[in-house]
Amino acid sequence: MTAIVTSLERRLAKIEASRRPPRGLYFVVWGCTAAEIEEGVSRARETGHIADGELIVRCAWPAEYPMPAPRWAHDDMRAFSPTEFGALMGEVDRYHDDLLADCRAEMQHRSLPDPTDAEINAVDPRHEDKTRSMTDAVLIGIVLAVPLNGERASLTDDRMERLTRSITALGMRDRIRGRDDALFEATQRAGHVVRH
């Protein structure tokens, strides 16, 4: 009897797994405040949408736009609306600004001359082609996605060089695509409310 029950449980688990939506590159949770984002993360965890170790992106959302449901991001950014893409890029920009401020503070702490933007944003030519060939979705994941209960990379992390290259590549693509100025301003305002 026990063997039959075990066999049925395995079959049921396989059926449930086949009906589950496929996992993507990372899970995006939106919110107008840090508390709202964390509430969304908790809900997603409780409902089984995310689990320990899976990558998530916490993204500030401009209050004047209807907020989308949290969901998995796949390798195609066309699944995101222009507002969602703008919010994600606003998050990348804020993170980049924070890294630059940290870099300048570290230079001042060491009594070194303040580096220029060109020095900070210099791209290693050996890796530039690889970064440029990645999709926007992968690049956003490299910059923003962290494991559940993890933290974003700091200046002391090995990821720093890769982050800088990825942010630079995202910036180039963003300039090529163009951006709605009103949307960009709204996503920037959302970032002043949320810090994480």
Confidence (pLDDT) at 57: 94
Q: pLDDT per position in the chain (196 positions), as tens?
A: 677 767 767 776 665 545 445 678 999 999 999 999 999 999 999 998 998 889 999 999 988 889 999 999 998 777 888 889 888 988 888 887 887 787 778 778 878 777 666 666 554 445 556 666 778 888 888 888 989 888 776 666 656 666 776 777 777 666 545 555 556 566 666 654 444 4
Confidence (pLDDT) at 61: 92
Contact present, 57 and 140 (Cβ < 8 Å): yes
Confidence (pLDDT) at 46: 92
Confidence (pLDDT) at 38: 93
Confidence (pLDDT) at 76: 78
Calpha distance 90→187 (Å, rounded) = 5
Residue 37, H or E segment: helix 34-46
Write down the pTM of the prediction. Answer: 0.71
- Using only C-alpha atoms, the chain has a radius of gyration, in whole angstroms, of 20
> Where do we find the tokens 């990821």?
159
